[in-house]
Amino acid sequence: MIKITIFGHPTKDGTIKTSLSSTQMFTAAFVNGFRHIGYDVNCINAATCNPESFLEKTDIVLVHTYAPFWVDKIQPILKKHKENYLLSSSFMEVVYDTDIPFTYDNRNGKSHVINAPCLLDCLKIENKIKKTILLDHGWPVANALDVSEKILNTLSEKNYSVSKIGDPSLSPEKIIHKASFLSYLENTSQFENFIVTHKGSYNHSVVDMVARGTRVISPRGYVPKNLVELFNIPEFDTMDEMLNVLSKPYVASEWELKRDLCTDMSDAVNIMNEQFINYINRK
């Protein structure tokens, strides 16, 4: 039996049901997926756990965490013990220096691309409420690349119903960002439009919205190029260009078809397993 150690962000009971974020949902999906196909799985909290004691007892290390945890804490320890296991990373464009990196794109020429991975069972298509807009969450500190305020000022006198993730003054309490992630998905399923407000590293929110048939709009350069091209996401440079996109009729059938471009996490795990087996057999 192949042993895999996952450095991620586990939920309190290891299930998707108690996830508070997309990263926790992905971690739970990895754990369940690899166990389902026969792996011996050990899941470690990348943010709080000292990984060193686990590394001599595993065949594969899979990293699924945010960049600071990887660079500052996990990477030096993993490299010190590198001869003992296959090192892989998932969907984080900053984590390239691993044996088998899985990413949304292949800008470094070495990644295995998995297009728009997500948990399709959790992403239901619902009828949209006309003229509704959901803005992505902002940065926790002031940042010149966060255009939330600029967009809100532009939309303030327009005939749209606007909500923003994480801002209770603009959203019902049920949309506050740190609520149960499944509840958050359920309560954001009927928005007609989603506007990206800050640059993302892997843009779970974009994929989650597109997979549910929501029209996604983004400032130019804020969403990775491969996702823009995959989903044909409209981009804008000015507020007038944004308003012009919003003025065009939302066509449900056009956006719902984009769901077929996503990769369900069960399929993603099978793709990763195939690469792991090939690598191990070559060694």
- Give the tens place of pLDDT for each residue, 139-191: 655 566 788 889 999 998 899 999 888 766 665 554 555 568 888 888 899 99
165 or 33: whose pLDDT is higher? 33
What does the pLDDT read at residue 214? Answer: 97
The answer for residues whose C-beta is within 8 angstroms of residue 239's C-beta and 6 or more apart is 150, 151, 154
Contact 119, 19 (CB under 8 A): no
- Does residue 192 register a pLDDT over 60? yes
176 or 116: whose pLDDT is higher? 116
**Both structure tokens of 204:** 């779970």
Domains of the chain as residue ranges with CATH: 3-115+264-282 (3.40.50), 121-261 (3.40.50.2000)
C-alpha closest to that of 65 among 81, 49, 85 = 49
Q: How confident is the model at residue 69 (pLDDT cuts 50, 70, 90)?
A: low
Average pLDDT over residues 234-253: 96
Backbone phi and psi for residue 85, each to the nearest 5 degrees, phi listed first = -160, 165
| pTM reported for the whole predicted model | 0.88
What does the pLDDT read at residue 12? Answer: 85
The CA-based dihedral angle spanning residues 240, 241, 246, 251, taken in that order and rounded to the nearest 10 degrees: 160
Query: CA 229, CA 225: separation in Å to the nearest integer?
Result: 6
- Does residue 32 register a pLDDT over 90? yes
Query: What own/partner pairs with CB < 8 Å and gap ≥ 24 does 155-162 have?
Result: 158/243, 159/131, 160/131, 160/132, 160/133, 160/246, 161/129, 161/131, 161/132, 161/133, 162/132, 162/133, 162/134, 162/135
The answer for residues whose C-beta is within 8 angstroms of residue 142's C-beta and 6 or more apart is none
What does the pLDDT read at residue 149? Answer: 87
Contact 265, 118 (CB under 8 A): yes
DSSP code for 85? S
